A and B are shown apart, each in its own frame.
Chain A
Amino acid sequence: MFKQLEKTHGFVTPSGMKVTILYKPDFKQQSMIVGVPFGGIHSNVYDEQHELYKPGLAHFLEHKLFESESGDIMAQFSELGAQVNAFTSYQETCYYFNTTTKFKESSNLLLDLVSDCSLSEESVEKEKGIIISELSMYEAMVDQALVKNLYKSLYHNHPIIHDIGGSKKSVTDITLKQLMDAFNRFYHPSLMQCVCVTNEPIESVEAMILAHPLSSNTKEKNSVSEEAIIEPRDVAFKDIHVTMDIEVAKGVYALKLDAHEGSSMNNVLKQFALRFLLEATFSELNPLYQEWIDQELINDYFDMDVDVSQNYSYIAFLCEHEHLDEVFDWIESMLKKVDLDEVTLNQLKRRYLGMSLKALNKPSSLSKQLVRYALNDLDFFDVLGLFQTMSMKDIELAKQHILNSLTHSSRVKITPQAK
């Protein structure tokens, strides 16, 4: 259904870069996003000296790629009337711009940006102060602290325990050599995914991309050698308690789920099934929800998160309460009773249909979703329709999955610092 609503065209350049063009003739804004499969999680990769990458390397490289021998690349985008930016997540780094004019010039500039990396020792050293200031900003945010401690509590060895930006120490230790090693290893066109949202004819955009040197670049691809992630079944810490300058205590209760070796699509289906189960049990869909609010067990901060990936999976509950253990005990008891009937399943399917249709309204955020799913070998439009195929059997499997993981739980508490 979703594919029929949008006009897309996909192709692969001679250099191996995979490109998707989304034609949006009604929209003034045009955009391009290029993603590389190198993110915060890749601190288990060995460099050519067989040393592990420092945590924060992908994010550091993202900062430095905006430097170019041909001058200030930010200024060049601004002169073209384009807004350029980038982000690093756990799995990938993405560079993008949006513009209402001179789309092709800006596209060429973005493809130039990811094609080349020319750095000096001096500029690498100077960037460290900026990144450390960025880390301080995140360190002051309670929500960031909750996520950081959630991963720390669940995992012993998985690289997700390191912040995407690294630590002040790892950033200080990053060298020019390691940045160049990462660029040469991961910024190969055959690893890149490119998505364009345009109101120009698809053929002319394709021709423009094919004419860029990155499309015909035949440089050799370096292999990637990774340290195997051996992650025990049990959680790393049952309880973590830290203090911050906050007004009300906040916490996360989490279950570490078995890692999933299945296909990416299968994992997405499992994620949907778990989410539906939790929605049915812990949201307003449950008639008891009002009682929990009235008893001040939960408030409007209460939230849930589900992540099912190939090498890590968990469900987590965010809460705000003076006595967090009371809430955690209640979550634990409710998890033993998770359930969903067929009527509610159909209600949720109808909701997700509306949500998915709304996702098509914003081409700029749509392009980010397209590129991130493509980097995981998934077609975003197939994912949008996946929940329609969900059956009560999938729900039952998800339920068993939760019940089998109940002993692998962790509790993170962040309480107000004494003033």
Chain B
Amino acid sequence: MFQTQQIRQNFNFHTKYSTQFKDNTFVFRFLFPMTQHNINCAQVYSELLDDRSINAPTKQAMLRWMDELYDASFGSYVTTYGQSFVLSVVFKGIEGSIVNDSEQNQRFLSWMMMILGGVLVNKETLKEAKTNVLQNVKREQEQHVKYALALSAARYENTSYALKVDGDETVTKITLEDIHSFKDLLKEVACDVYHIGQFDESIILEELKKSFLHQDKMSSPTFTMLKSEPLERHSVQKFSPQTVLVKTYATNVDYKDPRYLAYRVAAIAFGSLPTSLLFTNIREKNSLCYFIHASVIAFDGVMNVVTGIESDKVDIVSAMIDEQFAAMKDIEDSLIEQAKQMMIHSLVSSDDDVMSMINLHYSSRLKDEEFNIELITKKINELKREQILEAIQSSECIGEFVLLGENNV
């Protein structure tokens, strides 16, 4: 697993030596307090970062540099963690020994640190970055499931869950000063650096210590539990051949709760397997939909059930979801066993995927827990039926949102 070294307060380096992959992966994770302004700035900064750099001031120069490093790649994205969000910057470069190039690794490391510290911020690049974010916000409205989930979340006003992770229209107001302030904040917020590959870790550590990131950093709270009185069903119309129904549940079991693993197993049996109660009874037995699934947003204490249906079937399907939720108390042991096996499969598989490894390790750190696949597997196998049922029964449905397709428009 990862070897962790603390460089400064809330600034950690995690490395895993591995010959499993043909490249080296580096991920920088910056943890910010969740406000819509911070998210908007992060989205704009992410666009700026992915574009040009002080050392490669044109797109052509940047691409030439990346091609010289055998298709070195980088990209950044924003994900939420309850009351905070993370700006992740991912760099990938082919391992030098694979292409018999003894200078490849060092050149890749220098390139990466220059990109990270040399984001080109000026009037032109800011305009382009803001345009890109705004266009992404508009495109979100064209992806019906994503849009339905965003509109559903927005109803829980004054919670971090309601904030728009892709940014919102106010992004147009961001100024150069905002971006410079955000860049200063980037140096101050908690930072975790991950590496997986064959690099010499002492060389990476040296680079990090002499970089602009080298200072003590502040921490930021993450977990939260969505609390809300049940909301009435709300519909928004859309000219679309399909209606999207979202039912939102407050899990009342947070990520640190001892019942958390039991809750995840229950949610898989309820709606994340091709043999789950929702899939079997609503799709397979009644042919009412093509997709239906339950997904848990752990750091917000939320579970959403989402399905695409015909507009005149909203009441029937909604009632059937309720029935299946109630039927969880009579769930067959074989389904519980399948859910456990799938959760274990997913955990063990993470060892083959760099981003899954990093995500799981990072979430465990936020929980102040050691990430140990064998230990978690053992805990899952030991879960009893009663624990699993008790965990899901603590959930309550707190809202229903419908993106209503054209039949009713």
Contact = CB atoms under 8 A, between A and B. Distances in A.
Interface residues of A, number: 68
Contact of B135 (A79, A142, A300): A300
B9 interface: no
A136 B308 contact: yes
A56 to B, nearest CB: 14
Given A79-B341, A100-B349, A131-B290, A358 B71 contact: yes
Interface in A202-218: none
Contact of A79 (B131, B239, B288, B338): B338
Nearest to B273: A78
Interface stretch (B57-65, B181-189, B224-232): B57-65
Contact of B290 (A83, A133, A141, A286): A133
Contacts of B290: 130-131, 133-134, 136-137
Interface string B272-285: 01110000000110
Sort A-B residue pairs by CB-CB distance and give the 3 closest, nearest first.
Answer: A354-B71, A129-B287, A354-B70
Interface string A119-142: 000000011111101101101111
B16 interface: no
Contacts of A306: none
Nearest to A247: B138
Interface string B112-148: 0000000000001000100110010011011110000
Given A74-B275, A245-B239, A362-B353, A353 B70 contact: yes
A227 B224 CA distance: 62
B242 interface: yes
Nearest to B137: A247
A264 to B, nearest CB: 25
Contacts of A141: 143
Contact of A361 (B21, B138, B342): B21
20 contacts: A5-B98, A26-B19, A100-B344, A127-B287, A130-B289, A136-B308, A140-B240, A244-B239, A245-B240, A247-B139, A283-B63, A284-B63, A347-B67, A350-B67, A352-B71, A354-B71, A357-B22, A357-B94, A358-B94, A362-B353
Contact of B308 (A27, A129, A133): A133
Give chain B's interface residue range (CB within 8 Å of chain A).
35 or more
A417 interface: yes
B99 interface: yes
B291 A28 contact: no
Contacts of A355: 71
Nearest to A361: B21
Contacts of A127: 287
A52 interface: no
Contacts of B337: 79
A343 to B, nearest CB: 10
Interface in B86-112: 92, 94, 98-99
A246 interface: yes
Interface string B286-301: 0111110000000000
Interface in B2-30: 19-23
B322 to A, nearest CB: 20
B60 A351 contact: no
B132 A299 contact: yes
Contacts of A351: 66-67, 70-71
B309 interface: yes
A95 to B, nearest CB: 13
Given A285-B60, A290-B58, A351-B71, A75 B338 contact: yes
A347 B348 contact: no
B334 interface: yes
B341 A81 contact: yes
B68 A350 contact: yes
Contact of A126 (B138, B143, B287): B287
A77 to B, nearest CB: 8
Given A127-B287, A357-B94, A361-B22, A245 B348 contact: no
Interface in B236-276: 238-242, 273-275
Nearest to B64: A347
A358 B23 contact: yes
A102 B157 CA distance: 48
Contacts of A82: 345
Given A78-B273, A287-B58, A300-B135, A27 B20 contact: yes
A72 B332 CA distance: 15
A246 to B, nearest CB: 5
B238 A354 contact: no
A116 B132 CA distance: 50
A55 interface: no
A294 interface: yes
A403 interface: no
Contacts of B405: 136, 140
Q: Which of B19, B142, B143, B240 counts the most A-chain CB atoms under 10 A from its CB?
A: B142
B166 to A, nearest CB: 13
Contact of B20 (A26, A79, A301, A350): A26
Contacts of A99: 345
A360 to B, nearest CB: 6
Contacts of A78: 273-275, 338, 341-342
B72 interface: yes
Contact of A357 (B70, B144, B240): B70
A290 B59 contact: yes
A47 interface: no
A310 interface: no
A381 to B, nearest CB: 14
Nearest to B345: A81
A294 B341 CA distance: 52
Nearest to A126: B287
A72 B21 contact: no
Given A287-B58, A289-B59, A139 B67 contact: no
B330 interface: no
A363 to B, nearest CB: 7
A347 B55 CA distance: 19
Given A130-B283, A247-B138, A289-B60, A358 B240 contact: no
B275 A98 contact: no
Interface in A83-139: 83-84, 98-101, 126-131, 133-134, 136-137, 139
A246 B142 contact: yes
Contacts of A285: 60, 63
A130 B341 CA distance: 27
A248 interface: yes
Nearest to A77: B274
Nearest to B98: A357
A140 B124 CA distance: 35
Contacts of B240: 140, 245
A348 interface: yes
B43 to A, nearest CB: 13
A167 interface: no
Contacts of B63: 283-285
A298 to B, nearest CB: 11
A85 B387 CA distance: 30
Contacts of B99: 353-354, 357
A297 to B, nearest CB: 13
Given A139-B242, A285-B60, A301-B135, A348 B128 contact: no
